[in-house]
Amino acid sequence: MEESRKPKIIFDSREKKSLVVENLKTKCELEEKLLDVGDFLLSDRVCCEKKTTTDFVQSIVDKRMFNQLKNMKENFPIQLLIIEGNGLYDNNVNADAIRGALASIAINFRVPILWTKSPKETADMLYIIAKREQFGEKRPIRVRGERKPKDIKRCQEYLIAGLPDIDSIRARNLLKHFKCPEFVFTASEKELRRVNGIGKELARKIRDVIEKDYE
């Protein structure tokens, strides 16, 4: 039954005419949106930026790549970069500069880099990740902020889901445990860790967001 189900992928409208989107049409349910971050959303936590080798090199030169990675990291727990095509070093940019950028992406930004040879291979990769996330990991897919819920229960879940690495399931767990958003925000790290799905590192992240001064 699951084999016949199609995962959903939200793609940036600027990718509308790309061969990647064309190859995805038979595999996935597609939704077009003008995305502020990334090119493809594969679940509520996975955002993917796709570059051809030519565009990747140009984005290093104009420093666009690092701004895009920064935006992905600020908005999604898991970020991916797909570099598509061959001839990465067949240009006028110093090869060591390209290698340095790749090292920075992998080490400083900690963003996985996936290599594909063609739009079809890129589409196949996106499909597999979306399928794994949505069917294997049971992750929903949404653009945060596109639709604000009206009833109080949904508003509370939406509010808590704005905390770092908190999906809808963890948001509900937190609310069931603490009974209301106020007690979630005032809970200590130790108290947060008593909730299913909230480990030491995540509890610390939540407290950091709540406690640190806005700069």
**Average pLDDT, integer, range 31-41:** 91
Query: 201-209 — which CB contacts under 8 Å span 24+ positions?
Result: 202/164, 202/165, 205/163, 205/164, 205/165, 206/163, 206/164, 206/166, 209/163, 209/164
Q: Given this model, what pLDDT does residue 143 score? A: 67
Residue 3 pLDDT > 60: no
Q: Are residues 169 and 127 in the same domain?
A: no
Domain boundary among 91, 111, 136: 136
Q: Are residues 79 and 105 in the same domain?
A: yes
List Cβ neighbours of 97 (8 Å cut-off, separation of 6 or more): 60
Residue 135 pLDDT > 90: yes
User: Which pTM was predicted?
Assistant: 0.65
Q: Given this model, what pLDDT does residue 161 score? A: 85
Q: Given this model, what pLDDT does residue 1 score? A: 45
Domain assignment of residue 119, yes or no: yes
Domain assignment of residue 142, yes or no: no
Q: Are residues 58 and 19 in the same domain?
A: yes
Range of the domain at 206: 152-211
Domain assignment of residue 147, yes or no: no
Q: What is the pLDDT of residues 145-195, one digit of tens each?
A: 444 455 788 788 888 888 888 887 888 899 999 999 999 999 999 999 999
